[in-house]
Amino acid sequence: MSVKDYIRERFFPHMWCPGCGHGIVLNNLLRAIEDLGLNKTGIVMVSGIGCSSRISGYVDFHSLHTLHGRALAFATGVKMSRPELNVIVPMGDGDALAIGGNHFIHAARRNIDLTAIVMNNRVYGMTGGQYSPLSGYGTSATTAPYTNIDHGFDIVALAAAAGASFVARTTTYHVMELRNIVKRAITHKGFSVVEVMSQCPTYFGRKNQMGSAVDMMRSYKENTVPLGSKEKQEHPELIERGVFVEKELPEYRAEYDRIIERARKG
């Protein structure tokens, strides 16, 4: 199958701006699914609201486009009822970590088998460039005209601390890595978080003088290093990419089957 076979052409043209990173995420997500040879009918996409969340409509899987921040809660309901399905949750940084922050840490804590792909563009794209909990101190946004005094989350550290059993970070520049990490995340049994640094040239880029989409992607190349590289020690401001956590822990839905067994024994 080609990537074209995984999309709903009826839905196109897509709504993303030229140069938006979210399309790269979609493309590589589909390639990862193709590599894995997954059946379209076995995949559910559950998303919230945001530019990133629109991914769910474009794909020819079961797609559930829900409320801002709540995708993981809906996905939990789906997974608990139909554990055989592969449930993938594309999310925005605001969606996952501001309004949906509570659901995010609790899904991680339960270690329920969902794949959360957080497209971190450090901004609220859909509503026009307000700061997000990932914008970071000193950045500019339409609601931070005098610069932002909110500090940003570290998604990887947060997810790991909350109990996610697979945690990774990559960028839209590193597409082969993105594709491979998404594959591993989908295959992993348990709650998987993939942070994908994804450019929003329209708002974050423009407000923070980061140049074009290409310039922003180049900065991903220059400002990130593979996990464990020596450069990080010399330049602590570099951002690490790779798989930070990958461990086998009891998965929630499987654990619930044991509850059912216990309850039936009485």
Contacts with ligand TPP, residue ranges (CB under 6 A):
49-52, 68, 92-95, 119, 121, 123-127, 132
The answer to whether 89 touches 114, Cβ cutoff 8 Å, is yes
Rounded least distance, CB 203 to ligand SF4, Å: 5
Q: Which of 236, 96, 99, 219 lies closest to 167, judged by CA?
A: 96
Asked whether position 65 contacts other proteins by CB under 8 A, the answer is: yes
Q: Which residue has the tokens 């909110």?
A: 150
From 36, 78, 175, 225, residue interacting with other proteins (rule: CB under 8 A): 78
CB closer to ligand TPP out of 68 and 207:
68
Tokens 């000193």 appear where?
138
65 touches which of other proteins, ligand TPP, Mg ion, none (CB within 5 to 8 A by kind)?
Answer: other proteins
Least distance in Å: CB of 59 to ligand SF4?
17
- At 16, give phi and psi (nearest 5°): -75, 150
Interface of this chain with Mg ion, residues 88 to 147, rule: CB under 5 A: 92-93, 121, 125
The least CB distance from residue 50 to other proteins, in Å, is 13
Cα separation of 256 and 77, whole Å? Answer: 13
Chain CA centroid to CA 69, Å: 13
Query: The tokens 């570290």 sit on which residue?
Result: 154
Q: Which of residues 3-32 bind ligand SF4 (CB under 6 A)?
A: 16-17, 20, 22
Which SS3 state, helix, strand or coil, does residue 250 take? coil
